[in-house]
Structure formats: structure tokens, C-alpha cells
Amino acid sequence: MTRALELAREAAADGEVPVGAVVVDPRTDEVVAEGRNGPIGIHDPTAHAEIVAIRQAGMNRSNYRLTGLSLYVTLEPCAMCAGAISFARIGKVIYAAEDPKGGGVVHGPRFFDQPTCHWRPEVYQDLSHAEEAGQLLRDFFRARRA
């Protein structure tokens, strides 16, 4: 999660919403891929940190199935990202800050709880980094509203 937070800070420095994600192989602790938010910079509304990391992991593994891998992300995934996580067959999702407005895992549509969801990863909140990740987001949006 520490690396995901670094990526979130990099995104914020570039004017993107501060979210970072890292895909890890839990058997070896190898970082398979990483991503940070980038929709504004590359003009792509799907360039969320999770999507960027999942795309890179698929390329690095030469497989669109990422079964057994873990995704660390600084913010609860939205419904779009939850869908991508499910299609990629990621084994475990660990997120830091909850997202009551835009989250799609424990808030909003609760994507993994839907009967049409065919793959459900284990989902955990990293409470030890939740405040730090949440503060990054609050500071980012406070500066934009000022």
C-alpha cells in the first residue's frame, strides 16, 4: 500500500485525483504492475489507477486472467473498476479509503454482491492506511474548491 500511496501523490502532483494501485503476486511479493489515475492527462475516462494497473499486469503476465494476484488500491474501487477486477479474476482487493459517493464495492452498487457478478475477489480494507489515503483526497479536492 505504501507504493500505491506514492503513486497517488504522483497523480495529485499532475492534477489527477490522487489514487494509486499496485498488483502483487502474494506468493512471491513481486510487484507485477502499478498504476495511478490519469484520465485528464491522457483524455481517457477509463484511466483509473486500477484499470491502468490491471492492463499492465495482463501485458506483463501475457494473460488477461490475473487469478491469484492481489490488488492494493488507495481508494475503494468504483463500479467500472470492480467490473474490471472481476473480469480479470483478481484474487484479492485491499483498499485504503472508503468512497461513500463513488465506491462500487462496499458502497453504491456493491458490484461483487450482484448475482450477475461471476467472479468475486476477497475484499479487505487496509485501516492502517485509510486515514492517509483519505487525507490525500480531502486535501486534493479542498485545493480545487478554494
CA dist., res. 23 & res. 10, Å (int): 17
CA dist., res. 111 & res. 117, Å (int): 7
The string of pLDDT tens digits covering residues 16-67 is 999 999 999 999 999 999 999 999 999 999 999 999 999 999 999 999 999 9
Q: How far is CA 58 from the centre of its chain?
A: 15
Mean pLDDT of the chain: 97
Residue 63: partners with Cβ closer than 8 Å, 6 or more residues away: none
**How confident is the model at residue 114, as a pLDDT?**
97
Q: Does residue 146 carry a pLDDT above 90?
A: no
Q: Does residue 120 carry a pLDDT above 90?
A: yes
Give the residue extent of every domain in the chain. 1-140
Residue 46: partners with Cβ closer than 8 Å, 6 or more residues away: 39, 80
CA dist., res. 135 & res. 27, Å (int): 31
Question: Is 117 assigned to a binding site?
Answer: no
**How confident is the model at residue 105, as a pLDDT?**
98
Are the beta carbons of 42 and 88 closer than 8 angstroms? no
* Phi, psi torsion values for 90, nearest 5 degrees: -60, 140
Residue 112's H or E segment, with its range, is none
Q: What is the pTM of this model?
A: 0.97
Question: Is 48 assigned to a binding site?
Answer: yes
Q: Is 50 a catalytic residue?
A: yes
**How confident is the model at residue 102, as a pLDDT?**
97
**For the chain, what percent of residues have pLDDT higher than 70?**
100
Q: Does residue 144 carry a pLDDT above 90?
A: no
For 1-140, the fitting CATH number among 3.40.140.10, 3.30.70.20, 3.40.50.2300, 3.40.50.620 is: 3.40.140.10
Of 16, 50, 76, 131, catalytic: 50
**How confident is the model at residue 100, as a pLDDT?**
97
The string of pLDDT tens digits covering residues 66-105 is 999 999 999 999 999 999 999 999 999 999 999 999 999 9
Are the beta carbons of 92 and 122 closer than 8 angstroms? yes
